[in-house]
Chains A and B, each alone.
Chain A
Amino acid sequence: MNVELKNIHKRFGKTYANKGINLSIPSGAIQGILGENGAGKSTLMKILSGFIQADSGGEIVLDGKPVVMQSPADAIRFGVGMLHQDPLDFPPMKLLDNFLLGMPGKLFLNRKEAAQDFNRLANEYGFNFDPESYVDSLTVGERQQLEIMRLLFLGARVFIFDEPTTGISAAQKTKLFDTLQSFPKQAITTIFVSHKLEDVERLCDRVAVLRAGELVGEFTPPYETKKFVSTMFGKEITLGERQPAKTGDVVLSLKNVFLEDTRVRIDGLNVNIRAGEVIGLAGLEGSGQGMFIRACAGLVRPVGGKIFLKGKNLTGKSYYAFKREGVNFLPAARLEEGLLPGLSLLDHFILAEKPRGVFIDKAYGQRLAEERIKSFNIRGTPASMVESLSGGNQQRAELALLQTPLSLVLLEHPTRGLDIESMIYIWSKLKDRCKQDGAALIFISSDLEELLQYSDRLLVFFSGKVSEPIDASGTNVEQLGQLIGGKGWPQKGDIHA
């Protein structure tokens, strides 16, 4: 099926998520869509799959006919099906029921007939499914296959895949790619949305790059990875002056640590982090770095291995035990996990202090709050509610709450959404604090420039694989971008420390 997107606009408030996008995809093509977080990829795909409607002025044309899709169910009727990053299926149901749910037909279900269809389709595509087993016993990769089968049965002629290779095994990726490569023969059009350069290069016969809501480049093979990276990230990125790493004693030591959640697993990680060191964690969201930082905070219990803090074995201890040893974690969701909405700055500073008796010493709290607000340059008063502060000021407030003494600071996207001034300020404060207490710092960021600028060493995460520590002064945006996209990783067997 031919897909044409003509002059697609979508505005959320003042910002354009999509701005005048024109894209024409011939029938049977495998079209890659690249772009960093927030580039407008998912908005565009939601428009094409009927989840949201574009602002007036644009149109979607399928096989020459302009169509209006009011809902995803509408889109399916026009032949457009989407596989979401988190499969939209029903985990507690049997595969067959999940397959049947939403299928048009008579009032009473005919499970026997449906099972025949199910098995026939599974055979045709080489999927190995028992219709009587349960969806939650499947891996993410298998759930994708299940969804593909369902959409095929519903007559989808255009498939949209949103980050389909996140959280699936290499074997399942091969299987997925085999399936996708059989689509052109049936004139099924595929749209493959991904951050992963390697996957896009391997699979797609054409690639469009989005940046800040606009279509900024279209490519056909042979691809040049370097070109992708510079088009995706936009500007030529220059590195500022770096400070050489000053390292002290080992603060945090991970020995053969295994971590696991439903999406990724990290096998046998060994790493030593020294006082005064700043470690940047790079990788696409969900590649394992979030789990890693939570393991360092004592929030995720490793499946195997040991975690030492200043030589003390803290494996399997609670968050509280980690905190007592001077580990501070500042999560990305500031208002959900970091601060307490509904409480003032004053309340926060009092709460974070060691209790001085049962009753609150208001005068002391007031003094403390004024002093902290001044020294951290927070725009607010002791009585300001935290939720009324801007993002930058919330982040400053969190920094002002760091405990003393500090041995390890863990930060998740510390400057996400902040302006450049706040970012520089926060980093200078952080570095000062760590130097003063001899603490190490680990942070997650999706901003490559920030990673290179402020880290001494980098760990790159890719689908649960963790790189050897990389010296930040010896790498650049291109190389890092490739590693994040899964390219340039050492193959099994030639790993060297």
Chain B
Amino acid sequence: MNQETLLVGLAGVFAAAAPIIFAVMGETLSERAGVINLSMNGTILLTAMSGFAVAYTTNSLILGFLAGLLIGALVALVVAFASITLKQSQVAIGFVLALTCRDLAYFLGSPFMGVNGPRLQAAPIPGLSAIPVLGPLFFRQEVITYVSFFAIFIAWLWLYRTRPGLMLQGIGEKPAAAYVRGANVNLMRYVYTVIGGAFIGLAGPAYSLGVRAGWMGTISGLDGIGWIALSITIFGGWNPVRAAFGAYLFAFLQWLGLVLQPVLTQVPSQVLQVAPFPLMILTLLLVNIGNAEWVERTLAAMPESARKFTAKLLRAMRASPPAALGVPFERD
């Protein structure tokens, strides 16, 4: 493989990961506030279909993306209302929505099956795209891929560099304490769930108007992406940058599977297709090893200096979920 093809391939990884990035950023924001939006898989399918349908009908890509944004936010609003106002199980409502939205997408989307519609074109950034290696890698992408880079940065900036972001961390961690410090916990949960939903809603059009343009119904191959994004959110430790890394890792492993297929002919192709999944699980386990009780016990028995070092390392790797994830907040 020469350098050119390698770069194009890797650039493809960034493009392929863009929808997952949106979904993961959205879910991260929502879960940071303490609300699990489990409808993600259905939302992605529904917004992929409707985004394509709107863009096809109006011949406007922007309207297509806006439709996705809006539908994602609406589905999230249902999750928020059921879990925050009605205090129902987030898991139950999320599951039902995931299935409903998926079937709705297949049903409503049948008139648009296989039609040729508008799609995003690569938009190289003048100047930057000419930089060797970095140019082809990052700056010859579609607009939506640039937006995905930006989304990671914004989510990170908001969460770790702003006051409301710090409060957001507090709301998901210990809502009672956040309330004492002046947060309107339930309102903020609504806001972040809906914003998170809007992010998730971008994932669908990012597929149907970009990465895998068009709507192919059940054979679109999008079913399941939402569940993967959900696990990447967890793997990412509810940190946008780590989560983005997870999304890229996943897209990279999938690409690797494709690339290695002609080389490793003795390995059944199914193995390579499925390999990214167990690899993700393995990473998840490794990252969270510091949470296990036996590790703590082993640590306690280690000599002081080694213990400190290992504890620090584990601390840096450790990802603990927002403590109030999925728990309704009641004053007092």
Contacts and interface: CB of A to CB of B under 8 A. Distances in A.
Interface of A: 46, 51-52, 71-73, 76, 82, 88-93, 97, 100-103, 105-109, 134
A302 to B, nearest CB: 14
Contacts of B182: 71, 73, 76, 102
A98 to B, nearest CB: 9
A103 B166 CA distance: 10
B111 interface: no
13 contacts: A71-B179, A82-B180, A88-B174, A89-B174, A91-B323, A92-B173, A92-B323, A93-B173, A100-B163, A100-B166, A101-B178, A102-B167, A107-B163
A106 B320 CA distance: 29
A90 B161 contact: no
B162 A107 contact: yes
A101 B166 contact: yes
A72 B323 CA distance: 22
A372 B162 CA distance: 63
Interface string B293-332: 0000000000000000000000100001001000000011
A277 B332 CA distance: 41
B163 A109 contact: yes
Interface in B175-190: 176-183
A134 B314 CA distance: 14
B162 A72 contact: no
B141 interface: no
B170 interface: yes
B162 A102 contact: no
Contacts of B161: 108-109
B169 interface: yes
Contacts of A51: 331-332
Nearest to B166: A101
Most chain B beta carbons < 10 A, residue from A71, A72, A102: A102
Contacts of B174: 88-90
B320 A92 contact: yes
B224 interface: no
Contact of A89 (B162, B177, B183, B315): B177
Contacts of A108: 161-163
Contacts of B177: 88-90
A104 to B, nearest CB: 8
A361 B332 CA distance: 46
B164 interface: yes
B192 to A, nearest CB: 16
A442 to B, nearest CB: 28
B151 to A, nearest CB: 19
Nearest to B319: A92
A73 B163 contact: no
Contacts of B173: 90-93
Contact of A101 (B167, B331, B332): B167
A91 B182 CA distance: 18
A266 to B, nearest CB: 19
A285 B48 CA distance: 56
Contact of B332 (A46, A89, A97): A46
B181 A73 contact: yes
Contacts of B331: 51
Given A72-B180, A102-B183, A90 B170 contact: yes
B164 A107 contact: yes
A313 to B, nearest CB: 21
B163 A90 contact: no
Nearest to A89: B177
A100 B161 CA distance: 11
A302 B166 CA distance: 39
B181 A109 contact: no
B169 A90 contact: yes
Contacts of B183: 102
Nearest to A107: B162
Given A72-B179, A88-B176, A90-B174, A109 B320 contact: no
B169 to A, nearest CB: 7
A257 B331 CA distance: 40
A102 B176 CA distance: 13
Nearest to B160: A109
Contacts of B179: 71-73
A405 B174 CA distance: 45
Nearest to B183: A102
B180 A73 contact: yes
A395 to B, nearest CB: 28
A106 B162 CA distance: 8
Nearest to B158: A107
Contacts of A91: 173, 323
Contacts of A46: 332
Nearest to B176: A88
A72 B167 CA distance: 16
A88 B180 contact: yes
Contacts of A52: 332
Contacts of B167: 101-102
Nearest to B311: A137
Contact of B181 (A97, A101, A106): A101
B86 to A, nearest CB: 22
A97 B178 CA distance: 13
Contact of A105 (B163, B176, B180): B163
A51 B167 CA distance: 19
Nearest to A90: B173
Interface string B231-250: 00000000000000000000
A88 B170 CA distance: 11
A299 to B, nearest CB: 15
A43 to B, nearest CB: 11
Nearest to A72: B180
A97 B182 CA distance: 16
Counting from the closest, the 5 A-B pairs by CB-CB distance are: A102-B181, A73-B182, A88-B177, A72-B180, A101-B170
B163 A103 contact: yes
Contacts of A100: 163, 166
A76 B177 CA distance: 13
